[in-house]
Amino acid sequence: MKKLVKSTTNKKIAGVLGGIADRYGFNANVLRIAYVLAALFTAGLPFVIVYAVLAMVLPKESGPYGA
C-alpha cells in the first residue's frame, strides 16, 4: 500500500494534491480543479487552511535513489 506523501514530480504549489492523486489513483488536474471549485463556491478559508496544514505535515516523496 502506498503512503500519502507530497509529490515532487506532479506538483503546482506544494505537491499535496499531486500526492493525493497518486495515492488514490485520481487524475491530478481534475482533483485540482475540483478543489479550487469547492473552495470558490463554499467558504474557501477551510480549504486553504487544510492545504497549508497538509503541506507542512506530509513528508516529501523520496526519489528513485532514496534522496
3-53 confidence digits (pLDDT tens): 889 988 888 899 999 999 999 999 999 999 999 999 999 988 899 999 999
What's the pTM? 0.82
Range of the domain at 34: 16-57
d(CA 18, CA 5): 9
Tell me if 23 is assigned to some domain: yes
Tell me if 11 is assigned to some domain: no
Tell me if 21 is assigned to some domain: yes
Tell me if 29 is assigned to some domain: yes
Tell which residue, 17, 18, 23, 21, has the closest CA to residue 3.
23
What pLDDT does 43 receive?
85
Phi/psi of residue 6, nearest 5 degrees: -75, 135
Cβ proximity of 6 and 18 under 8 Å:
yes
Note the pLDDT tens digit of each residue in 52-61.
999 999 998 8
Tell me if 31 is assigned to some domain: yes
Tally the domains of the chain: 1
